[in-house]
Amino acid sequence: MYKLHLILKYLRSRRIAWVSLIAVMLCTTMVLVVISVMGGWLRMFRESFHGLNGDVIVHGRSLAGFPHYQEIIDQLRGLPEVEAAVPTLHTYGLVNINNSIRDAVDVLGYPASIGTVNRFTQSLYRQYQKPVDERRTPATQPSWDLLPNIRYQEIKPNLKGFTPGMIVGAGVIGIRKDSKGDIKRPDSDLEYGAWANLKVLGINPDESVDVEKNKGDRTYWIVDDSRTQVWQYDSKTIYVPFKVLQQDLRMDGTDGEPARASDVQIKIRDGLDLNKARDKIASVVDDVMMANNVDSRFPYIVETWEESQALWLGAIEHEKMLVTILFGIISIVAIFLIFCIFYMIVVEKTKDIGIIKSVGATGAGVAGIFLGYGLVIGIVGAGMGLLLGYLIVHNINQLHNWLAAILGVPIWNPEVYAFDTIPNTMNPNEVIVICAIAVISSVLGSLIPAIVAALLQPVEALRWE
């Protein structure tokens, strides 16, 4: 009885209680904000990496790709695990946009059905992200069709032959955040009426190169830009129709070999184990390759998206571990802070401990007062810290812009952090863990002072000056 009574009395009447309360609150807020921002950033990174990849990928390990991909896709579609399977092409090329941008780029050949296996469609600005107030419903799959309201012939009258559409990574054509934090975009569809010449080179299955025969040189029209939010993709990648690229690379079966693709991206039904699905898919692919006597000129590997991005994901995991260690150290500092404050409280209250003990309180009871005191301060401090942390994280982009305006320097650089906005969501699991740690730290911080108080003989405590 007296424990609760004394805890409440002490909380109400002691200014030092407020100091420790504020210390717990600030520590909780700090850890919440940093974990939310860093954790959110790492989570966005993962999601973005996954966004450009199917759940499982049959990956050709040479630029010549691998044959019989259509048969593989047909077989895979029969598997209950597989929701969709789509062939893609990957190569490197030289691009010349409007004679103003010349660059070496990654070239991806996507069929329109790519929308069924990854989130490429959602990265498109004109077809998906541009607001609905222009009465356009977001596309479900990407389109490379030329825009109807642009008079291409007038822009480049001497252009001959078939000119398909091209989707460019936003960074390739210089779309990025400016110093004010806004993204400059073309005002209307007309801005997309730029031409882009792309030169690619097909590789023979034996890895020989026949420049005259396998040279692809085609002019496209830019119809959209893609913003996956992963800077390394957006600044260096262009996307063209699968069939067009296959033809330009002579991988369409006209060189005597069967038609080839670089990868097959596969979407697995939700909730299934990716590794099991991968093993099943690998056996199907092996069977097809065996049946067609595909030789060692076409090496391939079947892997999950996480395995295919292992290098990047590994780096991110390491970063996360580093951040966790840093916060472990910060947490230890916080525990020490609480410990110091509680030790001061015990020293200050030594005489009270003697009085309470002389009236018959047990050592356990006295320890209970201080542990309870720590618990109350932990709970109230963590609650206040959660509130403050939520307010900061929720408004972090506004705060960042405000700070950047005052200091004149933007702190969050999208080219470094790969994303143009600071993550502002809190993960409920992390919140629960952090608040629990704050409460446990407060109790731990009060543990040694509580034991010291419990072990005092009443007379030792009463004699204290």
Partner 1 sequence: MSQTAETTLPPRSTQDKPIIRAQGLRKTFRMGDAVVAVLKNADISVRPGEFVAIEGRSGSGKSTLLHLLGALDTPDGGSLHFFDRDYTRLPPADEPVVKQIVMSRRWWYVLAITFAAFAMQMVAAIVAPRFSPLPLRWFLGIAFGVMLITAVIGLALHVLRFVRDDAIATPLRNSEFGFVFQFYHLLPELNVLENTMLAPMIQRSWFSFRANRRKLRERATSVLKELGLDHRLKHKPSQLSGGERQRVAIARALMNEPVVLFADEPTGNLDFETGQQIMAVLERLHRDKGQTIVMVTHDRSIARMADRVLVLKEGRLDRVSDLPNPKPAISTMDYR
Q: Is 454 in the site for partner 1 (CB under 8 A)?
A: yes
Stretch 212-231 residues interacting with partner 1 (CB under 8 A): none
Q: Return d(Cα 282, Cα 277) in angstroms, integer.
A: 8
Q: Is 351 in the site for partner 1 (CB under 8 A)?
A: yes
Interface segment toward partner 1; rule CB under 8 A; list 90-98, 214-222, 435-443, 449-457: 449-457
User: Of 167 and 452, which has the nearer Cβ to partner 1?
Assistant: 452
Q: Is 383 in the site for partner 1 (CB under 8 A)?
A: no
User: Of 181 and 365, which has the nearer Cβ to partner 1?
Assistant: 365
Kindly tell me which residue out of 140, 283, 395, 457 binds partner 1, with binding defined by CB under 8 A.
Answer: 457
SS (H, E, C) 361-410: CCHHHHHHHHHHHHHHHHHHHHHHHHHHHHHHHHCHHHHHHHHHHHHCCC
**Three-state SS for 456?**
coil
Parallel, antiparallel, or unpaired for β 300-304 and 101-110? unpaired
279: which 2 tokens?
């093993």
User: Of 182 and 348, which has the nearer Cβ to partner 1?
Assistant: 348
Kindly tell me which residue out of 51, 241, 354, 385 binds partner 1, with binding defined by CB under 8 A.
Answer: 354
365: which 2 tokens?
């009871």
Smallest gap from residue 22 Cβ to partner 1 (A): 21
Q: Return d(Cα 381, Cα 335) in angstroms, integer.
A: 13
Smallest gap from residue 458 Cβ to partner 1 (A): 4
List all residues 6 or more positions away from 62 whose beta carbon is below 8 Å from its beta carbon.
203, 207, 297, 298, 299
User: Of 57 and 346, which has the nearer Cβ to partner 1?
Assistant: 346
Of 240, 250, 237, nearest to 220 (Cα)? 240
Q: Is 358 in the site for partner 1 (CB under 8 A)?
A: yes
User: Of 164 and 365, which has the nearer Cβ to partner 1?
Assistant: 365
List the end-to-end C-alpha distance of the chain, in Å, as a whole number.
Answer: 28
User: Of 343 and 390, which has the nearer Cβ to partner 1?
Assistant: 343
Q: Is 283 in the site for partner 1 (CB under 8 A)?
A: no
Q: Return d(Cα 434, Cα 336) in angstroms, integer.
A: 17
Q: Return d(Cα 57, Cα 85) in angstroms, integer.
A: 9
Q: Is 462 in the site for partner 1 (CB under 8 A)?
A: yes
Q: Is 10 in the site for partner 1 (CB under 8 A)?
A: yes
Instruction: Map tokens 């990047």 to a residue.
Output: 312
Instruction: Map tokens 């049946």 to a residue.
Output: 291
Q: How many residues bind partner 1 (CB under 8 A)?
A: 29
Q: Is 364 in the site for partner 1 (CB under 8 A)?
A: yes
Q: Residue 108: beta bridge partners?
A: 90, 239
Question: Which positions lie near partner 1, rule CB under 8 A?
Answer: 1-2, 4-6, 9-10, 13, 351-352, 354-365, 454-455, 457-460, 462
